[in-house]
Amino acid sequence: MSDDLLTTLNRLARDQAASDPGATDTQARIVQAALALFAEKSYEAATTQAIAQRAGVTEKTLFRHFGSKDALFQRTVYPALFRLLQPIAINEFESMLRTRQGGGFRETVRAIVADRVAFGVKHPAIIKMVAQEMWLRPAFREGMTKLFEANIWPHVQAIFDAARASGEMRDVPSVVALRTTVSLVAGYLFTRTVLFPNQAWDDAAAVDELTGLILDGLARPLPAEG
C-alpha cells in the first residue's frame, strides 16, 4: 500500500477515534494500531497479537473492547475508507456527471472513461483495497452499493435515458450499459496497475480505445453516407 494512502487512512482513524466521545484512550490506540496493520498487511495477515502489541495492550484487552478481529476491522477500515472515498471517488465523480448531462453521448462516455482511468492510475492502492473488500466482505459491499445508488446511479441513468431518447444509444437497459462500461474500464485498470504496472502505458490512447469499444457496443450505428 502506498505511503500516502497509509498516512491518510491513519489520519482518518485518529480523527475517527477523536470524534467518538465514548472511546477510551485504550480503544483509540487499538483502533489506530488495527487500521495501520490492516492497511500495511491486509486483514488476513494482521494478527490480533500484532495489533495488540502495536497498541501497547494485551490480546485479552483487545477482545474485551472489540470482541473479534472482524468487529475491529469493521470499526476501523469501513468508516475510514468511506470517509476517504466520499470526496475523491464519489463527490468529484458526481460533480463531473452532473455537468455532463445534456451533452453529446459520445463526448460524455469519453469523459466518464477518462475520469475513472485517471482516478485509478492516481490511486491504485485505493482501487485494490476497495476491490478486495467488496469481494470478500458483504457488509462493505452493501455500504459501497448504497453510496453508488444514492450519489452516482441517478446521474448515470439520466445520461443513458437521454441517449436512448435521442437515438444515440441502442435500446438496452441502463444496467447493461453500465456493466459494459465498468467491465472494460476495470479490466484496463487491473492490467495497468496490478498485472503490468512497470510497462510503458499510454493512458490517453487507452481512453480512446476503451471509448470506442464501449460505443461500438452501445451506440446506434450511424447511417451510411450516400
Question: Which region among 34-43, 50-59, 169-178 has the lowest average model confidence (pLDDT)?
Answer: 34-43
CA-to-CA distance for 149 and 155, rounded, in angstroms? 10
| The residue to which cell 437521454 is assigned | 162
CB 31 within 8 A of CB 16: yes
Segment of 42-46, 184-188, 216-220 carrying the highest mean pLDDT: 184-188
CB 146 within 8 A of CB 85: no
CB 16 within 8 A of CB 79: yes
CA-to-CA distance for 53 and 68, rounded, in angstroms? 16
pTM: 0.71
Segment of 69-78, 87-96, 171-180 carrying the highest mean pLDDT: 171-180
Q: Of 192, 178, 176, 175, nearest to 117 (Cα)? A: 192
Question: Which region among 18-22, 161-165, 168-172, 194-198 has the lowest average model confidence (pLDDT)?
Answer: 18-22
CA-to-CA distance for 85 and 125, rounded, in angstroms? 12
Choice between 195 and 6, residue whose per-residue pLDDT is larger = 195
Query: What angle do the packed helices 92-100 and 105-122 form, to 10 degrees?
Result: 170
Q: What is the pLDDT of residue 1?
A: 47
Section 126-148 average pLDDT: 82
| The residue to which cell 490480533 is assigned | 48
CB 81 within 8 A of CB 40: no
Percent of the chain with pLDDT over 90: 37
Q: Is 65 helix (H, G, I), strand (E, B) or coil?
A: helix
| The residue to which cell 477515534 is assigned | 17
Return mean pLDDT, the chain: 83
- Does the pLDDT value for residue 13 go beyond 70? no
Q: Which three cell numbers stand for residue 149?
A: 445508488
Section 9-17 average pLDDT: 60
Choice between 196 and 22, residue whose per-residue pLDDT is larger = 196
CA-to-CA distance for 118 and 105, rounded, in angstroms? 20
Question: Which region among 81-85, 117-121, 136-140 has the lowest average model confidence (pLDDT)?
Answer: 81-85
Choice between 73 and 187, residue whose per-residue pLDDT is larger = 187
Helix boundaries (H) for 101-151: 105-122, 124-136, 138-151
Q: What is the pLDDT of residue 23?
A: 65
Q: Of 107, 110, 109, 131, nearest to 189 (Cα)? A: 131
- Does the pLDDT value for residue 218 go beyond 70? no
CA-to-CA distance for 2 and 198, rounded, in angstroms? 16
Q: What is the pLDDT of residue 70?
A: 85
